[in-house]
Structures are given as structure tokens and as C-alpha cells.
Amino acid sequence: MPGTAYATGSKRWTEFEGLTMAFFRPRVSREAEVRYHADQEAAKGYPAMLEKARVAEREFRAAQGADVPGAELRAAGVALDQAISGALRSAESAQRATFGVKAYDDRIRRRKGRATPEGAKWTAEVDRLRTLREEHRLTGIVRVPG
């Protein structure tokens, strides 16, 4: 291979100027970097999305307690579902960003990311929000005869 240390025939290790490495592999793909930065930006909105979900839940519970008509209760239930889904998407972005940029291309890195305290915290939060959303979808959204 021309340009490598073996191809020059030199026995001295100090003559490496102008030589290249025989193998080069990028650490992460460009797509992974783009997704990582997008997830970091989306994760910044998590507190606002969670607060929006809390407000929607308060409105939904108030509508349940006030015995409002079915259509209004369904609208409040759908609004709560959308708010929880937004918070979940933001939490998933924070989780992926916490795992690191290498985790986008490598399942082992994702597993190692979950094992860190910060990764475990976000994994638990994502699981909690998914459970909350699914429970609400099964029992909270009123079906209105149409």
C-alpha cells in the first residue's frame, strides 16, 4: 500500500510525515449527528410539554367532575392524549440524546446508555409516560355515538 509505514521500507518510526493510516472508519454517521442535535433541541421543550400535559389533565378531571356532556368530555380527553403524546415524544428525544451520539448507530451503545443513572432516569420516565398514555387511551377517552 503506497503511503503507509510498511510501503516506505523505512525502519525508523520517526519518518511518518506524509503517511496516512491504512484504515479509516468514521466514528459516527452524519445522519446520527443530525438526529442527535435534533433530539437535543426537542429535549429542551420537555418541561413545557410536561406542564401542558398537567394543565390538560386538570381540565380533563374538572370536566369529569362537572358532569359535562359526552362530546365536551371527549374533546378534553383527546386534548389530554395529545398533550401526553407530545411530552412522550420530548422525553424520548431526551432519552436518545442522553444515550449519546454513538447510540444511534449501535445497539450496544444504547444498552450501555440505559445502564447509566441519567439513562435509567429517562428510560423510567418514558415508560411512565407510555403507561399513562395507554391507560388514558383505554379508559379515559369517552366514546360518543356518532
Q: Which of 27-31, 88-92, 96-100 has the lowest mean pLDDT?
A: 27-31
Question: Stretch 118-143: mean pLDDT, rounded?
Answer: 95
Cα–Cα distance, 56 to 84 (Å, whole number): 9
Residue 41 C-alpha cell reads as: 433541541
Q: Interhelix angle for 107-114 vs 117-139, to 10°?
A: 90
Residue 89 C-alpha cell reads as: 415524544
Predicted confidence band of residue 119 (pLDDT cuts 50, 70, 90): very high
Helices (H) and strands (E) in the chain, counts: 6, 0
| Cα 86 → chain centroid | 12
Question: Stretch 3-20: mean pLDDT, rounded?
Answer: 55
Whether pTM exceeds 0.85: no
Residue 22 has pLDDT above 70, yes or no: no
Cα–Cα distance, 73 to 142 (Å, whole number): 7
Cα–Cα distance, 144 to 68 (Å, whole number): 13
Residue 7 has pLDDT above 70, yes or no: no
